[in-house]
């Protein structure tokens, strides 16, 4: 089985299997973060993954998900709703 070598903040060098790791990718980019739980101390950890690391992890069969680092916040939705209500003719906004 493929072994992924990384380091734990408590234990130092550790070996993981692809099943221990999950990868978070940025939309449209070949980089992101990978997460794992140390098999020795069970500490959950997160590390940045550059495109080379991403390629290695994907090649070993690590599962991945695409995450949006800047989700729309409640405040932005509220501000948008307020702007719509303040606009006497909302269709004019669509006409741009
Ligand atoms: Zn550890």
Per-residue 3-state assignment (H helix, E strand, C coil) for the chain: CCCEEEEECCCEEEEECHHHEEEEECCCCCCEEEEEECCCCCCEEEEEECHHHHHHHHHCCCEEEECCCCCCCHHHHHHHHHHHHHCCCHHHHHHC
Q: What is the pLDDT of residue 89?
A: 78
pLDDT, mean over the chain = 89
Q: How many whole angstroms from 39 Cα to the centroid of ligand 1?
A: 7
Please report, rounded to a whole number, the percentage of residues in the chain having pLDDT higher than 90. 61
Residues with CB under 5 A from ligand 1 (ion): 8, 10-11, 38, 40-41
Q: How many whole angstroms from 88 Cα to the centroid of ligand 1?
A: 59
Q: Which residue is listed with tokens 């959950």?
A: 44
At 96, is the pLDDT very low, low, confident or very high (cuts 50, 70, 90)? low
Cut 0.85: pTM above it: no
Please report, rounded to a whole number, the percentage of residues in the chain having pLDDT higher than 70. 96
Q: How many whole angstroms from 7 Cα to the centroid of ligand 1?
A: 8
Q: Give tens-digit pLDDT for 7-25.
A: 999 999 999 999 999 999 9
Q: How many whole angstroms from 42 Cα to the centroid of ligand 1?
A: 6
């Amino acid at each position: 089985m493929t072994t992924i070598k990384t380091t734990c903040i408590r234990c130092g060098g550790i070996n993981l299997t692809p099943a221990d790791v999950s990868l978070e990718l940025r939309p449209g980019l070949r980089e992101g973060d990978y997460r794992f739980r140390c098999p020795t101390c069970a500490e959950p950890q997160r590390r940045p993954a550059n495109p080379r690391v991403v390629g290695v992890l994907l090649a070993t069969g690590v599962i991945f998900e695409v995450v949006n680092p800047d989700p729309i916040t409640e405040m932005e939705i509220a501000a948008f709703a307020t702007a719509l209500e303040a606009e006497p003719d909302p269709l004019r906004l669509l006409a741009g």
